Structure 1
Amino acid sequence: MGGITGWERQRSAAAARVVRAAVRAVVLTASLAATPGVLPVRAAPRTSLSECIAGPARVEVIAGIGPRGEIRLASGVRAVPDSLRWPDAPEAASAAQAWLEARLGARVTMIPRGQPDRWDRVRADLLIAEGEEDLAGGLIGAGLAVADANEADSLCRPALRLVEAAARARRLGLWRAPLPGAQDGPALRAKAGHFVVVEGRIRHIGERGARTYLDFAARGTDGLTVTVSKRTWRMMRARGLSAASLEDRRVRVRGLLEVRRGPTLEAAVDGIEVLDEADRPEAGPDRERELRR
């Protein structure tokens, strides 16, 4: 096999610069959020600002690493990096655990966000005091975790999706294998019970009273269906997404995969990303009614 070409080295260096720049953007956003009188930049309006409000920053020391990315601080506080989903795959989870354990004893600036989670752990931005490393950005940038809102309505740190995209482009960690296709029913069924990121084109949208259904495969074939609750669909529409603007669009979706009649996942507000085509204007009421079938 031949050696690495100059072009490949340039491409690798450019990708690395993208990751570093994205992480710096994440750190800057977190720093601004903690600065009195400066509002954090957000990608879209939120319905529950309390989930993302940044509290006062304070310096802590990492004293231990618990299960699934729990950070135990010397003060006794238990924290988890905000806007990060811990990996399900054992190999990736072990690598992520080792990545965090390498930072034991480090001084961090902790910026709490919103209310503690159901296990009374503080959701926080955690920035290594010496340097510009951000724990969530570092894990996601290494391909060891996914940017996700978890139990919150919206992603508080949307810049982390840029970090994730750079890791995916370089096929790091979780992204070494191609994403499963939304029309590949058998591959999706094999991931039942796990959090997945899937890409595909929406073939049909059906709006019902309680839920909206996004079908990625033709009727009678084995493929993904994404369900969206009435409340979440209303929030998506406030952001400019609708049946008319999404049908026949290629998207990336994420969520916990279940198998009912076929592979299904429930999408959160930030769980659908449009991948191609310039944003189209909203369709008129006639087109909207046509799609609500």
Structure 2
Amino acid sequence: MSVVASTRPSQAACNFPEQGAGRVTQVIDVRTIRLADGAEIRLAGVEPAPDDISASVALPQLVDRDVTLHGDADSPDRYGRQSAFVFIDAAAPSIQTQLLASGAVLASGTVSERNCAAELAATEAAARGAKRGIWARDGVIKNAAIPGDILAQLGRFVVVEGRVLSVREAGSTTYLNFGRRWTRDFAVTISRRMMPAFSGAGVALKSLERRRVLVRGWVESRGGPRIEARHVGQIEVVGD
């Protein structure tokens, strides 16, 4: 699978201002590359599927290629990595978009810019519909009704689909409950500090009751499996 040979038009929605450039010298892992100047670049907007190596197979093709970095900021994270959208050719989509289109990675749901977030989600959905890459197999999307299957992915990034049974607020946290056994079933937690973001996006959390949703994020254990929604894009309504 190639991630550098696309001739499709540039995906302008994620073409943020340029924040740097360099030559790729190493692929550190499925979402991190190193440039010749020693900078570590984290691929923004995507995450690897659990136990999948598709992206790690594709990314070595970037070694010895010149890239430009685009983003809304160039501040490093706590590990010293710069998060950016990576481009080899301004006339081609970002590496992230190409990876999503080939079914090599998952959209993270953490991009706040709406047009870019929508583009990444749509690209992933197209790959899923065409059963490309990771989507050719079963079980990539976990069933919210089977909490044990989700809990088996503790500490990993997963996508979960299910129907929200209830929305409850307790203290400073709102819970989207997918089962009646609150201490054992799957739930999504949303802290009070995230409420303005959901309101600003026109999402009334209470309106999610009885809706079928896709949730993506890192699995935690608090009795039952939990995913904390720190970004609006982690929750997607897919049906009633």
Distance in 1, matches of 2:168 and 2:133, equals 36
Q: Which residue of 2 aligns with 1:84?
A: 46
The aligned runs of 1:175-254 (5 Å cut-off) are: 175=135, 176-178=137-139, 179-219=141-181, 223-254=185-216
Q: Which residue of 1 aligns with 2:67?
A: 108
* 1:107–1:130 CA contact under 8 A, matched in 2: no
Q: State the Cα distance separating 1:187 from its structure 2 match.
A: 1.7
Q: Which residue of 1 aligns with 2:227?
A: 265
The answer to whether 1:117 aligns with 2:77 is: yes
Equivalent position amino acid for 2:66 in 1 = R
Per-residue CA shift, 1:50-76, capped at 9, x if unaligned?
Answer: xxxxxx355422222113422222333
Q: TM-score, normalised by structure 1?
A: 0.69
Larger radius of gyration: 1
Per-residue CA shift, 1:202-246, capped at 9, x if unaligned?
Answer: 111112231001111134795311111111133212222224321
Q: State the Cα distance separating 1:24 from its structure 2 match.
A: 4.3
Q: TM-score, normalised by structure 2?
A: 0.83
* 1:107–1:129 CA contact under 8 A, matched in 2: no
Q: State the Cα distance separating 1:247 from its structure 2 match.
A: 1.0
Q: Which residue of 2 aligns with 1:141?
A: 101
Cα RMSD, aligned residues only: 2.6
The answer to whether 1:29 aligns with 2:8 is: no
* 2:109–2:216 CA contact under 8 A, matched in 1: no
Looking at secondary structure, tell me which structure has more helix per residue. 1
**Paired positions, count:** 229
Per-residue CA shift, 1:143-189, capped at 9, x if unaligned?
Answer: 22111156x7x367302111111122123333322422111122222
Distance in 1, matches of 2:182 and 2:36, equals 56
Higher alpha-carbon deviation: 96-105 or 131-140: 131-140
Q: Is there any run of 5+ residues in structure 1 with no aligned partner, and where? A: 1-19, 35-55, 278-293
Higher relative contact order (CA 8 A, sep 6+): 2
Equivalent position amino acid for 1:232 in 2 = M
Q: State the Cα distance separating 1:130 from its structure 2 match.
A: 7.3
Equivalent position amino acid for 1:274 in 2 = V
The aligned runs of 1:57-68 (5 Å cut-off) are: 57-68=19-30
The aligned runs of 1:140-179 (5 Å cut-off) are: 140-148=100-108, 154=112, 157-158=116-117, 159-175=119-135, 176-178=137-139, 179=141
* 2:23–2:36 CA contact under 8 A, matched in 1: yes
Distance in 1, matches of 2:50 and 2:176, equals 25
Distance in 2, matches of 1:274 and 1:231, equals 22
Q: State the Cα distance separating 1:127 from its structure 2 match.
A: 0.9
Distance in 1, matches of 2:124 and 2:58, equals 16
SS in 2 for 1:100: helix
Q: Is there any run of 5+ residues in structure 2 with no aligned partner, and where? A: 1-5
Equivalent position amino acid for 2:226 in 1 = T
Distance in 2, matches of 1:155 and 1:117, equals 19
Residue in structure 1 matching 2:237, options 274, 278, 285 = 274
Q: Sort the Cα spacing of 1:259 and 1:155 in 2 relative to 1 into closer, same or farther, 3 A.
A: farther
* 2:182–2:224 CA contact under 8 A, matched in 1: no
Equivalent position amino acid for 1:272 in 2 = I
Q: Sort the Cα spacing of 1:213 and 1:100 in 2 relative to 1 into closer, same or farther, 3 A.
A: same
Q: Which residue of 1 aligns with 2:3?
A: none
